[in-house]
Each structure stands twice: as C-alpha cells, then as structure tokens.
Amino acid sequence: MAAEERGRWASRTAFVFAAIGSAAGLGNAWRFPYMAYANGGGAFLIPYFFALITAGIPLLILEYGIGQRLQRGAPGALRLVKRPFEFIGWWALMVGFTIVAYYVVVMGWIVLYMGYSLSLAWAGREADFFQQQVLQVSEQPRALEGICWPIFLGLVVSWVLIYLCIYKGVRGVSKVVMITVPLPVVLLAVLAVRGLTLPGAVEGLNYYLEPDFSRLLDPQVWLAAYGQIFFTLSLGFGIMIAYASYEDPRSDVNNNAFLTAFSNCGISFLAGFAVFSVLGFMAQTQGLPIEKVVASGPSLAFVTYPKGIALLPGGTVVQALFGLIFFLMLFTLGIDSAFSIVEAINVGVEDKWKLTRTHLVILVCSLGFLGGILFTTRAGLYWLDIVDHYATHFGLTVIGLLECLLIGWVYGAERLRQYLNEVSDISVGLWWSVCVQILTPAVLFVILTLQLRKEFQEPYGDYPAWALISGASLVVLAPLIGWLLASARGKEA
C-alpha cells in the first residue's frame, strides 16, 4: 500500500494519547499498587524503574520503530524483516485476541457495577454479591450452567462501545482518545484526593510506599518488576507496532516512547494513592490490620473497593457518586486498552487482505464477542483466571523474546537505531542495542524458564488438570493459527 493511502493520526498528541490509552488499563489500577505493596513498597520503585529503562522503554522504542519504519502491523512488519517470520506477528495478535475476549467481559462487569453503584446494591455483602449474585459462580470449570444474562448484556454494551470508538479508523480513534485518556486520570485524581482526606489514609500510604530495601535482594522482586513493566506497556501484542504504523515515517520515535512510558507509570503511581488511601481508611474503620484488607485484581475492584465505598461518610448519595466515579474511571481506563488490541488485529488483517473498514471491524468485534461468551457462563470466572494466566505469563514473554531476537539480530539493532536517531528529537545510545540484543531477551528468557519450572512444580490454582491443559493449549494453538494465517494468500503474495 502506498504510504499516502495509509491512515494517519490526526496529530502527534493523538498518537501518544492512543499509546498511553493502550498502556494504561485495568492493570494500572488493580495490579500495580498491589505489586508495589507486596514487593518492598517504595523500594519496589527501584527495580521498577530499572526494568522500565532496561527493558520497557527499549522494547517500546523497538515496536514503535519497526511499525513506523516498515509501515505495517506486526505480521506485515515481521514479514518484511524475513518472510517466514510473519507468523510470529499473527501469533502476537492471537494472544491479544484471547486477552481481549475476556478483558471485555470484565468491562461488562464494570458496566453492571456502574448500575449497581446507584443503589449501592452490594452494601453489606460485597463478596457474596459479586460471586453469588453477579457472577453466580458454579462449582467448577466444567459446570458452565448456562449464560448469566446481565453479564452477557454488559458484554454486548461494551463491544458496541468499542465498535463505535474504532469503526471510523485511525481518525476516529484520534478523537476518542482525547476523552478516554484524560478522563480516567482526572477521575483517579478525584478519587485520590477524596481518599487522602479520609481518616487512616496515611497509614494506607505507609503500607504502599514505605520502602523495605531488604527486598531488593530477592530476585523474585526484580522479576515481578520486569513482568509488570512488560504487561503495563502492552508490549508483545503487536499493538504498539500497529499504532506506530499509522505514523508518518519521519515522525519522532524515541521521545514519544519516553513520553508514553512515563505517563503510563505516572498513572499507575497515582492509582496507588486512590487505592491505598481507601484501604487505609477501611483498615482503620474496621479495626483490622491492613494485611486483612489489601487485595488486587478483580477482588480489589469488585469486592474490596465497593466495601470501602459503603463505609464512606456522607450518606448514600455521596457513596453512590463515589462508586459511579470509580467504575466509570475503570471503564474509561480499560476501553482504550481493549480497542487497541482490536486495532492491532484490524491493522494486521487490513495489511494482508482487502476488506472494507466496516466489514473488518464488525468481523473482528463479533469474533471477540463470540469468544467472550464462554466467560459469561457461570464457570466464566474460572476460565477467565486460567486463560489470563497462560496468555499473560507465556504469550507475552515468548513473543517479546522473539521480537528482540528477530529485530536485534536479523533486522539489526544498529540498523534500526540509526533510523531512530535520524527521525527522533533525542538519540538513543549504544545501550539501546545492547538492551535489545542481549539484556531484554536474557531477562525474558529467565522469566520464561522460571515460569515454566513453576508451572510443572505447582500447577496454577486448584483447577483440575484437564482445565489447565485446555487453557495452556491456547498457548500452543495461537502460533498454529498464526502459521495458518501467515501461509494464507494475501494481496502481497
């Protein structure tokens, strides 16, 4: 496709906002604060920034660099590097697809909770309400026991909104991100300010940030930091490659990558204040030690935080408003991460086959929706947990590793670095090539090996083996489907 025909971002801000929107997702709100707390508090920031500089930013620059230089999404770009590698790009998109299938189900829960906030429907029985009433969780993964229709409806609403955000292509997304990126940040700031003025907030923050430097000697803490960085920057899913392919080939890369990375980490840090101030308040109000109230992931968002909301002073109207702000914040934080995955797939398909934009977006959204139905059943929570485990622990690491090796050694890190420095405001030194060729792949390899070993030593969760094997088979299926798609004839055959 000639460069002129390719969609373009409306402005540099639009591109950087879209990238920040992809990076800043549910993980920033419900994963980072807990990771910091559990891995040395304020001291965690040291490995975190180290990981950011030595792996997160180099890989982000790499993804931006090849997307912008080669003007293709992940499959097309890797095909241009060397034809047989196209399948790795599709593999990345397949992993992204599994993630978006359940990510949007969680957004469906959030939609429902926006409604429940109005009446504080959970008050007094938060855990029960979430598990029994909303999710109606069954006994075990085999017991699907039908679809939970409210969740199904939430899923439909979320997919329709995603469709509306992206159907116009990159120009439309340029407009949407002007709202979906700043809005959750403003809402987080509101939550943080309210949280910080609650009694007990300071104790909460102490737990969040009090540095425990002795933890820096624990390799697990460093691995956690690297894992969090890869996940939070949405690396290894072909998203940043696709987004950068809509940039003019002469645009800045390096500075944009620093901007994206630091803004994203700032949002995580801010979220920690919103979360831990309320946790501190809860601990004090209930006379419990903070260890008894901290949580992460879905239980933080759908059980602990709602419980905190129900304890807030000021009456039910204030509580309802706080709840609404919280869930609206989560929804707007998540939606641009969700549609970034869809866009990455769209770009991959568009590069290879001729399809009208509308047909393409309807097709991908419908497939994502269909894939999500499994997670709306009464066993949905189990499957969500299992699929999330394999997709984020293996998909991301394997693909990140392959990307580094391919670009670092086959395409040539120095060759790309020369291009990067030609177009960028600030230059990256030799350290970048060293990171891409050696350091980042080495770290990813270590993470992967340790993760694999752990998987065999103590299988994840207390799920039956067949369920874990089905979940893990996605990891095997993704490259196979990738291979099939790569072998199919496209317009550039």
The nearer residue to ligand PHE, 92 or 135, going by C-beta atoms, is: 92
Q: Is 364 in the site for ligand PHE (CB under 6 A)?
A: no
Q: Is 25 in the site for ligand PHE (CB under 6 A)?
A: yes
| Rounded least distance, CB 344 to ligand PHE, Å | 8
Residue from 232, 260, 296, 319 that binds ligand PHE (CB under 6 A)? 232
The nearer residue to ligand PHE, 116 or 237, going by C-beta atoms, is: 237
Q: What string marks each residue from 80 to 99 as x (binds ligand PHE by CB under 6 A) or -? A: -------------------x
φ, ψ dihedrals at 318, nearest 5°: -60, -45
Tell me the two tokens of residue 119.
């009446």
| Rounded least distance, CB 334 to ligand PHE, Å | 7
| Rounded least distance, CB 28 to ligand PHE, Å | 5
Distance of alpha carbon 450 from alpha carbon 223, whole angstroms: 10
Contact between 422 and 129 (Cβ < 8 Å): no
Mark the segment that binds ligand PHE (CB under 6 A) among 66-74, 147-155, 230-238, 405-413. Answer: 230-238
- Residues near 422 by beta carbon (within 8 Å), at least 6 away in sequence: none
Mark the segment that binds ligand PHE (CB under 6 A) among 23-31, 50-58, 280-288, 431-439. Answer: 23-31
Distance of alpha carbon 76 from alpha carbon 81, whole angstroms: 9
Q: Which of residues 312-341 bind ligand PHE (CB under 6 A)?
A: 337, 340-341
Contact between 323 and 316 (Cβ < 8 Å): no
Residue from 14, 16, 19, 23 that binds ligand PHE (CB under 6 A)? 23
List, as one string, the DSSP characters of 297-343.
HHHIIIIIHHHHHHH-SSHHHHHHHHHHHHHHHHHHHHHHHHHHHHH
Distance of alpha carbon 241 from alpha carbon 221, whole angstroms: 29
**From residue 49, how far is each of 29, 36, 53, 201 by CA, in Å?**
18, 12, 6, 26
Residue from 90, 237, 243, 331 that binds ligand PHE (CB under 6 A)? 237
Alpha helices in 74-140 (DSSP H): 74-81, 86-119, 126-128
Long-range contacts of 146-149 (CB under 8 A, 24+ apart): 146/377, 146/378, 147/373, 147/376, 147/377, 148/376, 148/377, 148/378, 148/380
Bridge partners (DSSP) of residue 377 are: 147
Other CB atoms within 10 Å distance of the CB of residue 299: 15
Q: What string marks each residue from 98 to 137 as x (binds ligand PHE by CB under 6 A) or -? A: -x--------------------------------------
Distance of alpha carbon 157 from alpha carbon 170, whole angstroms: 22
Q: Is 180 in the site for ligand PHE (CB under 6 A)?
A: no
Q: Is 39 in the site for ligand PHE (CB under 6 A)?
A: no
DSSP SS3 for 377: strand
The nearer residue to ligand PHE, 243 or 281, going by C-beta atoms, is: 243
The nearer residue to ligand PHE, 25 or 75, going by C-beta atoms, is: 25
| Rounded least distance, CB 251 to ligand PHE, Å | 22
Tell me the two tokens of residue 108.
């469906």
Residue from 19, 20, 28, 33 that binds ligand PHE (CB under 6 A)? 28
Say how many Å lie between the first and final Cα of the chain, rounded. 13
Q: Which of residues 196-225 bind ligand PHE (CB under 6 A)?
A: none
| Rounded least distance, CB 44 to ligand PHE, Å | 16
Burial pattern 74-84, b for ≥16 Cβ within 10 A else e, equals bbbbbbbbeee
Q: What string marks each residue from 398 to 437 as x (binds ligand PHE by CB under 6 A) or -? A: ----------------------------------------
Mark the segment that binds ligand PHE (CB under 6 A) among 20-28, 60-68, 159-167, 456-464. Answer: 20-28
Q: Which of residues 337-356 bind ligand PHE (CB under 6 A)?
A: 337, 340-341
* Contacting residues toward ligand PHE, per CB under 6 A: 22-23, 25-28, 99, 231-232, 234, 237, 239, 337, 340-341
